[in-house]
Amino acid sequence: MAQRAVWLISHEPGTPLCGTVRFSRRYPTVEKRAKVFNGASYVPVPEDGPFLKALLFELRLLDDDKDFSESRDSCSHINKTSIYALPVGGEELWPVVAFLKNGMIYACVPLVEQTLSPRPPLISISGISQGFELLFGVQGFLYSGQKNDSELNTKLIQLPDLLLQACPFGTLLDANLQNSLDSINFASVTHPQKQPTWKAGTYKGKPQVSISITEKVKSMQYDKQDIADTWQVIGVVTCKCDLEGSMPNVTISLSLPTNGSPLQDILVHPCVTSLDSAVLTSSSIDAADDSAFSGPYKFPLTPPLESFNLCYYTSQVPVPPILGFYQVKEEEVQLKITVNLKLHESVKNSFEFCEAHIPFYNRGPVTHVEYKVSFGQLEVFREKSLLIWIIGQKFPKSMEISLSGTVTFGAKSHEKQPFDQICIGGTAYLKLHFRILDYTLTGCYADQHSVQVFASGKPKISTYRKLISSDYYIWNSKAPAPVTYGSLLL
């Protein structure tokens, strides 16, 4: 379950090495065990330089992919997990857990407590999931609230000390590095007996509980006979419980109105102490029926100090909030476009903002646009080959709006115009961006009475809700569009 080494590498395309090792940490006692456990198949952890080179090549992050390279591009060289074998010094270092996120590569080498030839299945190596948690933890720490490079650098400087706390010998003690940081600060406080390790100290002050429900809705709309439109709601419930006592007990319930859509695929935070089996089994995998569990969804828990995601869920609402169609007809150098959007009557018609982005890929810059909108305004970004239809805060009474126009393009120059691997030929989409406050599509809510707190003092309870769009696509119905298996079956 231990790690032999951990790296943080920034990916810097265009530089000679294409990356820099920003942080690395080796664990010699684990390495010593690896030598014994792996026996003849032992491959030592390389120094930073060779590791960087091998990893960037394997992750296809070096700039030189102009020519076919067998060791990288061969069709049989298939990776189906974020776990790699790196050729280093004529041998293969395996398993290397690595992934790229926000320009940073996170990597570690878990200890395998047996011989490596033949390679045991990944599922049998406890260090793999531990390695992932460590890397997710580091990533979470680096990017929580981080806005710019200097903040990132400050956090990188803190990292060695934090890992000395959270992973002193290569065996991870806590993936929540923020918690480790807090526990350094809380160090002088004596722990009472049953203090959870994931709670660095105790809260002192006015008791309050805040619960916020954020739903994202995504959709793929095709306007075609043989392909079904799809949409899905993904919810996250974030809580912050400022309560005194070492282990205050809280029960938070989420409720649905009578016509609400059942919550499915619920994943809870580990601080939840028990779960109703109906919560555990409610799943989007099953065909929907009326007997689906519709709450209330009760979550008894002992909250940590910091803000945490109590649960994630998905839901299948009966209709998408905005239904639309998009038609593109190619006429010589011009494209003739028609867009029609309709807000469903059940949806709260009060947006923080609502926009439709209409990009044109693999073409030249927009030179001329002629259009007519029934509502809102159209902005044209010529160089980006992008139109943005600003719909504003409200749909008109009819709930239905339309846009039609012709777009003319200049000559294509490869460098500047956006390339897209999906939008080939007539394939095109428009993407909706909107946000509605104090509203959820499922109807899900948590009110003051739904929170039970078993601790001294009556806490102030505040609740928030919002709906935002995410990957809300409407595809050109006059050309092929990428489909998922689900859209074909229906």
Partner 1 sequence: MGPTSRETWAQRLGTFRASPSAFMAGPEGEDLGRHLLSDLRSEKLSEPTKVSLLALSLEYPAQLWPDAPAAEAAATSLLDTLVLLPPRPSALRRPLLLAATTALAAGGALGPTSGASRRLLPLLLGLASGRDLGRSFGPASEQRPLQATAWECLRELESCKPGLLGGCLGLLRGLLGQEGPVQPLSLLLALALRNALVIQARARLGLQGLLVAGDCPTEGGSWNWMLAEEGDAHLQPQAPSWPAAEGGECCLATLELSPEEARELRAAVAQLLDASYLLTPVAQAQLLWLLGWALRGLRGQPPVLFKPQLVRLLGTAQLTLLHAVLALKAAFGEALFTAQDEALLLRRLTLAAQHPALPLPAHLFYLHCLLNFPENWPLGPAGEEAAPLLLGSQLCRGLLPSLLHDPMDLLARLHLLCLLCVEDEEKEKKGQDQSPRRYLEELLAGLRQRAALGGGPRALATLCFQASYLVARCLAGQPAVLTPLTHGLAQLYRARPALAPHFVDLLDRVGPELGEPLKVVLRQEVVSRPGRDEALRWHLQMLARVADGDAQSATLGFLQAAAARCTDWGLQQALLQVCRALLRAGVGGGLADLLQALARQLEDPDGRDHARLYYILLAHLEEPKLGVALGPSLAAPALASSLVAENQGFAAALMVQEAPAPIRLSVGPHRAKGPAPVLQLQVEVLEQVYSLELRFRVERQLYAPLGAVHMPCLCPGRPIRPLLLPLQPRRPAPASLAVRALYTTPSGLTCHAHLPPLLVNFADLFLPFPQPPEGAKLGFFEELWDSCLPKGTESRLWCPLGSHGLEALVSRHLEPFVVVAQPPTSYLIAIRLPPDSRLLLRLEAAQADGVPVALRTDDWAVLPLVGDYLRGLSAAG
Residues 176-235 that bind partner 1 (CB under 8 A): 176, 179, 187-188, 190-198, 216, 218, 232, 234
Q: Decide whether 295 or 405 has the Cβ nearer to partner 1.
A: 295
CB of 350 to partner 1, least distance (A): 26
Look at residues 231, 228, 215, 257 and name the one whose alpha carbon lies nearest to residue 434.
215
Decide: is 120 part of the binding site for partner 1 (CB under 8 A): yes
Report how far residue 59's alpha carbon sits from residue 53's, in angstroms, rounded to the nearest whole number: 10
Report how far residue 20's alpha carbon sits from residue 221's, in angstroms, rounded to the nearest whole number: 42
Decide: is 268 part of the binding site for partner 1 (CB under 8 A): yes
Q: Decide whether 72 or 435 has the Cβ nearer to partner 1.
A: 72
Q: Decide whether 242 or 420 has the Cβ nearer to partner 1.
A: 420
Decide: is 76 part of the binding site for partner 1 (CB under 8 A): yes
Decide: is 288 part of the binding site for partner 1 (CB under 8 A): no
Distances (CA, A) of 438 to 62, 374, 446: 46, 28, 12
On whether the CB atoms of residues 357 and 388 are closer than 8 A, the answer is yes
Decide: is 284 part of the binding site for partner 1 (CB under 8 A): yes
Candidate residues 11, 22, 33, 433; the one interacting with partner 1 per rule CB under 8 A: 33
Q: Decide whether 1 or 390 has the Cβ nearer to partner 1.
A: 1
Decide: is 281 part of the binding site for partner 1 (CB under 8 A): yes
Site for partner 1 in 303-322 (CB under 8 A): 312, 314
Candidate residues 267, 288, 319, 437; the one interacting with partner 1 per rule CB under 8 A: 267
CB of 456 to partner 1, least distance (A): 21
Longest dimension (CA), the chain: 77
> How many CB atoms lie under 10 A from the CB of residue 308?
19
CB of 188 to partner 1, least distance (A): 5
Site for partner 1 in 436-475 (CB under 8 A): none
Decide: is 63 part of the binding site for partner 1 (CB under 8 A): no
Q: Decide whether 208 or 238 has the Cβ nearer to partner 1.
A: 238
- Total binding residues for partner 1 by CB under 8 A? 115
CB of 274 to partner 1, least distance (A): 6
Decide: is 173 part of the binding site for partner 1 (CB under 8 A): yes
Decide: is 346 part of the binding site for partner 1 (CB under 8 A): no
Site for partner 1 in 90-109 (CB under 8 A): 97, 99, 101
Candidate residues 113, 182, 242, 306; the one interacting with partner 1 per rule CB under 8 A: 113
Decide: is 1 part of the binding site for partner 1 (CB under 8 A): yes
Only one of the segments 22-30, 248-256, 322-330, 456-464 lies at the binding site for partner 1 (rule: CB under 8 A); that segment is 22-30
Site for partner 1 in 136-155 (CB under 8 A): 136
Decide: is 266 part of the binding site for partner 1 (CB under 8 A): yes
- Rounded (5°) CA angle 373-379-384: 130
Candidate residues 3, 82, 261, 450; the one interacting with partner 1 per rule CB under 8 A: 82
Q: Decide whether 102 or 377 has the Cβ nearer to partner 1.
A: 102
Report how far residue 60's alpha carbon sits from residue 72's, in angstroms, rounded to the nearest whole number: 8
Decide: is 168 part of the binding site for partner 1 (CB under 8 A): yes
Burial (0-12, 13-18, 19+ Cβ within 10 Å), 15:
exposed
